[in-house]
Amino acid sequence: MIKVGIVGASGYTGLELIKMLITHNGFTLSYLATTQGGIDVEALHPSMQDIISLPVEKADATVVAERCELVFLALPHKASMGFAKALLDKGVKVVDLSADYRLEIDTYEENYCPHEDKEHINESVYALIEYYREALKTTNLAAGPGCYPTATLLGILPLVPYLDANAPLFVDAKSGLSGAGKNLSENAHYVNMNENIFAYKALSHRHEPEIAEKIEKVHGVKLNVNFVPHLIPVTRGELVSVYGTLKEDVNPLAILKEHYKDDPFIRIRENPVDIKSTAGTHFCDIYAIKKGNALFVSSAIDNILRGASSQALAAANLMCGYNEGMGLPVIPYMP
Ligand SMILES: NC(=O)c1ccc[n+]([C@@H]2O[C@H](COP(=O)([O-])OP(=O)(O)OC[C@H]3O[C@@H](n4cnc5c(N)ncnc54)[C@H](OP(=O)(O)O)[C@@H]3O)[C@@H](O)[C@H]2O)c1
């Protein structure tokens, strides 16, 4: 058994990691931490009472390195890079869920903040599993993709070679509120969110350059990506609708089926997808249709699992020589 830890154990993605790691056959959860610590996990997450008992400590990279061979950083961007740098220098494998190691340094600094770990950013592997599986097997640093980019890229990447690169690509995304983390904001108040839906950061969200950068990395083509996210009044789930222009007469559903035929966690659907069928799972469901040269691709994921924690666990499995699917949830919360 490989000893693993979670820094950021009080957050939404931290809790999902705890739940999966409790029953994992190759990992032992040996360390949990938050900014302050000093609490047991049962008190921190009352839903975990009588399921797991472990102290939650004040995060300390030296202690983590003594106790763990691999650490999940379920932290906000900027906080992650300090821990990652210290842990990697001590030989600990890192799976970072934040944006800190996802992007080229220029893209990162344009959209986030100055980077404080230039040494390791070039060593990271983008943990979009279906595209970076082989590279993940040999890296010590996996960078979890953003939740919106995960759903968007899994849907559109197989179809990029058939797109008219001169036409804009529109990405219309809708997310449950857990995507924003546990801290309250004006948008997150019940009266603002209940029975409501609205766009935010239209054409200016940080996930737009991430989507564009990864399309260019995989296919060598620069697309004009236009991304508009929306908040919807559900706890978890993300639905992404992509609108593009085809340059040739192809069957998009057949392309998706062929592309993902060996990928057990991608389900190509015959009808438009929904978020509830993937909630609680690592699945990404995808559907596509065209009319003339107009293309519609629709994908759904659970933002805290496939968009964050289960994708991080899949990366950790690969980094440690385990089967990619070990311990990943597959039973949806339906109904
Ligand atoms: N939520 C999603 O659907 C989703 C999807 C994809 C990626 N992500 C990314 O995953 C990361 C975690 O997201 P989340 O939703 O779990 O966030 P969250 O609910 O806000 O939790 C953040 C966690 O980080 C801890 N923390 C913050 N600063 C820290 C520091 N300096 N040292 C130690 N611990 C610190 C917090 O501990 P305290 O309780 O002590 O403050 C908390 O446990 C973020 O980078 C987010 O962008 C999230």
116 and 40 in a single domain? The answer is yes
Distance CA 291, CA 68 (A): 53
Q: Is residue 233 part of a domain?
A: yes
Say how many Å lie between the CA of residue 298 and the centre of ligand 1.
28
Residue 42 covered by a domain: yes
Instruction: Clarify whether residues 111 and 158 are in a common domain.
Output: no
Pairing of strands 39-40, 55-58: antiparallel
Whether 330 contacts 279, CB under 8 Å = no
Residue nearest to atom 2 of ligand 1 (CA): 179
Look up the CATH number of the domain holding residue 286: 3.30.360.10
Please indicate, yes or no, if residue 86 is contained in any of the structural domains. yes
Q: Find out whether the beta carbon of 90 lies less than 6 Å from any atom of ligand 1.
A: no
Residues in contact with 312: Cβ distance below 8 Å, sequence separation at least 6, in sequence order? 13, 17, 72, 74, 95, 97, 127, 142, 144
Which residues make beta-bridge pairs with 40? 55
pLDDT of residue 178: 96
Q: Which of 92, 112, 90 is nearest to 103 (CA)?
A: 112
Q: Ligand 1: does its nearest atom lie under 6 Å from the Cβ of 98?
A: yes
State residue 102's pLDDT score.
Answer: 98
Does the model's pTM come out above 0.95? yes
User: Do the domain assignments include residue 181?
Assistant: yes
Q: Does 309 reside within a domain?
A: no
From the CA of 180, give the closest atom in ligand 1: 1
- Probe target for ligand 1 pocket from 10, 305, 311, with the most ligand atoms within 8 Å of CB: 10
> How is residue 160 written in tokens?
């990029």
Helix (H, G, I), strand (E, B) or coil at 84: helix
Nearest to 73 by CA among 102, 42, 100, 95: 95
Measure the CA–CA gap between 173 and 157, rounded to whole angstroms: 16
- Give the strand pairing for 27-34 and 55-58: parallel
Residue 216 pLDDT: 98
- Establish how many alpha carbons lie within 13 A of residue 84's alpha carbon, considering only the half-sphere containing its beta carbon: 32
For residue 96, being part of any structural domain is answered with yes
Rounded to an integer, what is the distance from CA 139 to the centroid of its chain? 18
In a domain, 278, yes or no: yes
As annotated, the active-site residues are: 147
| Cα–Cα dist 256/155, whole Å | 8
Indicate whether 277 and 181 sit together in one domain.
Answer: yes
CATH code: domain of residue 62: 3.40.50.720
> What is the position in ligand 1's atom list of the atom closest to the CA of 75?
24
Tell me: do 9 and 85 sit in the same domain.
yes
Question: Whose CA is closest to atom 35 on ligand 1?
Answer: 35
Backbone angles phi, psi at 154, to 5 degrees: -60, -35
Q: Which two tokens stand for residue 299?
A: 């994908």
Query: Do 212 and 113 have their domain in common?
Result: no
Q: For the chain (length 335 residues), average pLDDT per consecutive 10?
A: 98 98 98 98 97 97 96 98 97 98 98 97 97 98 98 98 98 97 92 97 98 98 98 97 98 98 98 98 98 98 98 98 98 93
Q: Which residues contact 189 (CB under 8 A, 6 or more apart)?
A: none
pLDDT value of position 189: 94
Report the separation in Å between the CA atom of 8 and the middle of ligand 1, taken as the mean of its atom positions.
6
Token digits of residue 4: 């693993």
Domain range holding 196? 148-302
* Ligand 1 touching residue 227 (CB < 6 A): no
> What is the count of structural domains for the chain?
2
The size of the chain, in residues, is 335
Nearest to 324 by CA among 146, 154, 137: 137
